[in-house]
Amino acid sequence: MGFLGYFECGLLFFLFLLDSAFAQIVYSVPEEVNKGTVVGNIAKDLNMNVHELESRMFEIVTGTNKKYFDVNLKTGVLFVNERIDREELCLSIQKCSLNIEALAKDPHRLYRVEIKILDINDNAPHFPVKEFTVNISENASPGERFPLPVAEDSDVGSNSLKEYKLSPNEHFSLDTQSEDQSVSAELVLNKALDREKQATIKLVLTGVDGGKPPKSGTVNIIITIMDINDNNPVNAL
């Protein structure tokens, strides 16, 4: 066998050892659970005798994610050791996971653990402004559309923003569009306006998420009817 053959055999043997030296398990835990919440029995799931944990100096060894979890060496339980805020860790990314590694000695063995952080509905939709003004000419035609501010929601998936609601009125309806993780809304004029009868219309737009129970946020919509010269001048006698 030539050098290349020995090299290939050696590489395959090394990869086999590398594969056998690692094991990975996956857990999931909701964000914002109390410190001490059990994630799983890591000793049982790794087929380790719980009495070996102390003698083999089992420990979590990964850097920055290490602070969030710890292991009870008496019971083999992996538990939450610090507050976990999914939005702080992963922003608006749908999939949020923390990866840690645990090490056992004599013999050395490295275990990779993925903990999926589940979103809870801990954020209500909110608008960037408290009040939004829309200027509309009184000769605007029914069917004309006017964009409205978009609500923001830090939660993802089923807990994210799902719909808008408009306060009852006789002139406008609401049309919403959904795209990926965003939902936008437009004001649709249904009935002709008359500034002489009503110069300002005040509405409330509500953004509602999909949580159970749902959370919501509101913004005041001020419709200012712009005047046109539609009245003949009156001559004083």
Q: How far is Cα 69 from Cα 205, in angstroms, rounded to an integer? A: 42
Q: Are strands 109-118 and 38-41 parallel, antiparallel or unpaired?
A: unpaired
Task: Please indicate whether residue 5 or residue 199 has the higher confidence score (pLDDT).
Answer: 199
What's the half-sphere exposure (Cβ side, CA atoms, 13 Å) at 203? Answer: 23
The vertex-184 CA angle with 181 and 189, nearest 5°, equals 160
Q: What is the pLDDT of residues 30-50, one digit of tens each?
A: 999 999 999 999 999 999 999
Of the given ranges (125-129, 197-201, 229-233), which has the lowest mean pLDDT?
229-233
Walk across the sheet containing 216-226 and list its strands.
Answer: 131-137, 216-226, 200-209, 161-166
Over 60: is that where the pLDDT of 86 sits? Answer: yes
**Residue indicated by tokens 């589940």:** 118
Q: Can you list the domains of the chain with their CATH numbers?
A: 16-118 (2.60.40.60), 131-226 (2.60.40.60)
Over 80: is that where the pLDDT of 236 sits? Answer: no
Q: Which residues contact 79 (CB under 8 A, 6 or more apart)?
A: 36, 37, 38, 39, 69, 70, 71, 72
Q: How far is Cα 29 from Cα 79, in angstroms, rounded to an integer? A: 10
Give the per-residue pLDDT at 235: 52
Q: Which residues contact 151 (CB under 8 A, 6 or more apart)?
A: 125, 126, 127, 161, 164, 183, 207, 217, 219
Q: How far is Cα 123 from Cα 215, in angstroms, rounded to an integer? A: 8
28 sits in which H/E element: strand 22-30
Give the per-residue pLDDT at 231: 57
Q: What is the pLDDT of residues 44-72, one digit of tens each?
A: 999 999 999 999 999 999 778 899 999 99
As a whole number of Å, the CA-based R_g of the chain is 30
Give the per-residue pLDDT at 41: 98
Mean pLDDT to the nearest integer, 5-28: 54
Give the per-residue pLDDT at 5: 47
Q: What is the pLDDT of residues 133-192, one digit of tens each?
A: 999 999 999 999 999 999 999 999 999 999 999 999 999 999 999 987 789 999 999 999
Task: Please indicate whether residue 107 or residue 117 has the higher confidence score (pLDDT).
Answer: 117
Residue type for position 99: N
Tokens of 60: 């979590």
Question: 35: closest CA among 1, 67, 73?
Answer: 67
Q: What is the pLDDT of residues 210-221, one digit of tens each?
A: 999 999 999 999
Task: Please classify residue 45 by burial: count the beta carbons closer than 10 Å to its beta carbon, then call 0-12 exposed, 13-18 middle and 19+ buried.
Answer: middle
